[in-house]
């Protein structure tokens, strides 16, 4: 079974969904250490004047806290409603904003307790919009925590627990993955080589590697074909 193991990021980029679409199963890596100021809590959109970064504020916690235990901070009001106002202002004139705005507005106007809940609500709804039907499971449902200090061995253990014998991994993982150990465990591994497509986009010159929201509001039902470089 071909699978991908990805941390739950905030409003992910196009390549994230290419990996999910290309897999039989998507394992949400929710029981690993949270990295502050990473894509787990922020992403970029394009406004009329600039590229804007949306960041979800979190409650103070220890550096060893797992992703699934990170709480959103509402100390200064609801940051998600502010995010939605920024998104609405940026994309309200885009071709497909009205087609999908209700879906995203309802998500951003909820008061999610954890960052994981917010991110998965967004990821799962984007998958529905893109008509991606890949099965989604959580690493924490298979393993409470990882006992080994070796990243490769932990991933292999997770693959074996889920039933993955063909891992589709992010290109960045190639810097630390020990390929020989995957061979020893009869697990094939492929690293993503993603060519970012150019699509119809508002506000001047094209900018790549934004949130998939940018694609959806500009390309609508063509979005998956764009992600797969079919358009």
- 47: number of Cβ within 10 Å: 14
What pLDDT is stored for residue 68 in this prediction? 95
pLDDT at residue 194 above 90? yes
The DSSP call for residue 88 is H
Residue 231: band (very low, low, confident or very high) from pLDDT cuts 50, 70, 90: low
pLDDT at residue 146 above 80? no
**What average pLDDT does this structure show over 211-226?**
98
Domain ranges of the chain: 2-227
pLDDT at residue 170 above 90? yes
CA–CA distance, 2 with 165 (Å, rounded to integer): 6
- Structural element, H or E, at residue 159: helix 151-162
Contact 73, 59 (CB under 8 A): yes
pLDDT at residue 148 above 70? no
What pLDDT is stored for residue 144 in this prediction? 74
In angstroms, the Cα distances linking 77 to 43, 55, 56, 101 are 20, 14, 12, 22
Q: What is the tens place of the pLDDT at every residue in 29-73?
A: 999 999 999 999 999 999 999 999 999 999 999 988 999 999 999
Contact 196, 41 (CB under 8 A): no
């Amino acid at each position: 079974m071909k699978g991908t193991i990805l941390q739950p990021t905030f409003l992910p980029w196009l390549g994230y969904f290419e990996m999910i679409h290309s897999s039989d199963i998507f394992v949400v890596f929710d029981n690993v250490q949270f990295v502050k100021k990473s894509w787990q809590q922020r992403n970029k959109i394009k406004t009329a004047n600039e590229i804007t970064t949306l960041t979800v504020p979190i409650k103070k916690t220890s550096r060893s806290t797992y992703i699934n235990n990170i709480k959103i901070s509402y100390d200064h009001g609801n940051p998600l409603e502010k995010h939605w106002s920024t998104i609405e202002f940026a994309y309200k004139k885009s071709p497909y904003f009205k087609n999908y705005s209700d879906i995203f507005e309802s998500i951003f106007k909820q008061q999610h307790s954890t960052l994981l809940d917010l991110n998965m609500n967004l990821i799962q709804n984007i998958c529905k919009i893109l008509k991606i039907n890949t099965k989604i499971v959580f690493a924490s449902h298979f393993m409470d925590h990882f006992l080994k200090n070796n990243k490769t061995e932990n991933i292999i253990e997770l693959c074996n627990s889920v039933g993955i014998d063909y891992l589709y991994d992010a290109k960045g993982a190639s810097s630390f993955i020990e390929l020989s150990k995957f061979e020893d465990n009869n697990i094939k591994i492929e690293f993503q080589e993603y060519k970012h497509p150019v699509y119809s986009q508002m506000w001047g010159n094209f900018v790549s590697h934004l949130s998939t929201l940018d694609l959806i509001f500009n390309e609508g039902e063509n979005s998956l074909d764009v992600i797969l470089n079919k358009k």
